[in-house]
Amino acid sequence: MRPARLALPAMLPLPPRLRLLLREGLPPLPQAPPSPPASLPTPPFTFTPRRLQLGPQHPLLEDGDVHRHLYLQGVLTSLEEVAERPKVSEFSCHISGCSQVFDTLEGYEHHYNTLHRNVCSFCKRSFPSGNLLDIHILEWHDSLFQIMAEKQNMYQCLVEGCTEKFRSSKDRKDHLVTVHLYPADFRFDRPKKVKSGSKHTNSPVEQGSSVPMDVSVEMAEQSQGNAMETGPEESMEISQPAASPGPSLPEKRLYKSRSVLWPQGKRGWDHSSFSALCSMAWAALC
């Protein structure tokens, strides 16, 4: 008797036409005598057929799990081939007022999606998502909103999937910080400001309006002498124009871009550098 050795067959002796059977369906089963009712095993034998349910740590799953993680860690070779990003001849953004230049379509796409995709048509602000743009339009440019807000909770939570509404933007902020664990320095709200920079094409609605909040926070805002927030905790507005050594903005800028979710900085942080950065970038953009 040869001792058994573990070995892997090169091929399985499968009958032909299996694939055909898969497509065309199985032949009827041959008539087998009815199986006797299942009986309990006679000791000392213990076998009873059962479907196995395996938990995540079962040894049977080890090899497959390891393979999965080799894949995640990029150790498996020849997985996907990297597609070359096609270079195109330089072109510039077609949005009027924007002359950013690109040499890849991806670069342009990212630029467009960041700056031009979710843009408020009233005040030209840009938002990271359609949802935030919708909230902005509702709260800033819908004349019914203020009237309604006096009667019922109208400020909806910014977190997708949360249906809570609040009486004021401050209540909403408290909710975001306490319930959704948003950073406490998260700047959701800003007093609606009067743009002193007449160079901006602010919508009339926005001008002089006292709508108290804005779900957006400016990032690259370069407005000259902009009041911005005045509270001490807001002093880190990166776009504080006073600190900006950058060139004044060209007249032709047609939109402003801001990020909704700009974290508020600490005191003493070098914000002039940011302003300079912004100026620089704006010079490139405009």
Partner 1 sequence: MWARRRARRGGHSAEELRVRRREREAALRRARRQQQLVSKRLLREDSAAQEGTQDGGDVVPDPLSEDEVLELLRGVQRGSEDRRRWLGRLRWALQNEDTQQKFVRLDGSIRTLTGLFTSSLAELQLEAARCLHELSHSSVPAVAEACLPVTSYLLTYLSGHSLELTELCLYTLGNLVVESEAVRKQLLPQGIIPVLASCIQSPHEAVLEGVGYVLSQLLQAKEAPTEIIPLVLDSALPQHMLQLVCSGLKAAMGAAVEFAWCLHYIICRHKDNELLLALGAVPALTSLLLDLAAQIPPEAPEGLELLVCPVLRCLSNLLAQTDCHGPDRRLLIALFLILQCFLQQHPFLIHECLWLLNNLTADDPSCCSALLSLDLLPALLQLLTCSQMGTVLVLTVLCNVAEKGQFQCQQLLQQPLLAQLLPLLTLPDPEAVGQCLELLHLLFLHCPEAAAEFTRQGGHQALEQHQGTPELQERAQALLDMVRQPPGAPSACQATLAASS
Question: What is the footprint of partner 1 within residues 98-157 (CB under 8 A)?
Answer: 100, 106-107, 109-111, 113-115, 117-118, 126, 128-132
Question: Least Å distance between CB 159 and partner 1?
Answer: 4
Question: Least Å distance between CB 202 and partner 1?
Answer: 17
Stretch that binds partner 1, among 12-20, 145-153, 164-172, 193-201 (CB under 8 A): 12-20
Please say which residue, 23 or 151, places its beta carbon nearer to partner 1: 23
The answer to the question of residue 62 lying near partner 1 (CB under 8 A) is yes
Per-residue interface string for the shown chain with partner 1, residues 206-245, x marking contact by CB under 8 A: -------------xx-----------------x------x
The answer to the question of residue 263 lying near partner 1 (CB under 8 A) is yes
Q: In angstroms, rounded to a whole number, what is the distance separating the alpha carbons of residues 189 and 233?
A: 12
The answer to the question of residue 12 lying near partner 1 (CB under 8 A) is yes
| Residues 17-36 close enough to bind partner 1 by CB under 8 A | 18-19, 21-23, 25-27, 29-30, 32-33, 35-36
Stretch that binds partner 1, among 61-69, 144-152, 166-174, 195-203 (CB under 8 A): 61-69
The most distant pair of C-alpha atoms in the chain lies apart, rounded to whole Å, by 98
Strand partners, 156: 165
Q: In angstroms, rounded to a whole number, what is the distance separating the alpha carbons of residues 93 and 274?
A: 24
The answer to the question of residue 9 lying near partner 1 (CB under 8 A) is yes
**What per-residue string of b and e applies to 25-53 under the rule 16 or more CB within 10 Å gives b?**
eeeeeeeeeeeeeeeeeeeeeeeeeeeee
The answer to the question of residue 88 lying near partner 1 (CB under 8 A) is no
Give Cα separations from 205 to 84, 140, 209, 221 (angstroms).
Answer: 47, 8, 6, 19
Question: Least Å distance between CB 175 and partner 1?
Answer: 11
Please say which residue, 178 or 198, places its beta carbon nearer to partner 1: 178
The answer to the question of residue 165 lying near partner 1 (CB under 8 A) is no
Please say which residue, 241 or 246, places its beta carbon nearer to partner 1: 246
Please say which residue, 26 or 144, places its beta carbon nearer to partner 1: 26
The answer to the question of residue 50 lying near partner 1 (CB under 8 A) is yes
Pseudo-torsion of CA 56, 59, 60, 66, nearest 10°?
A: 80
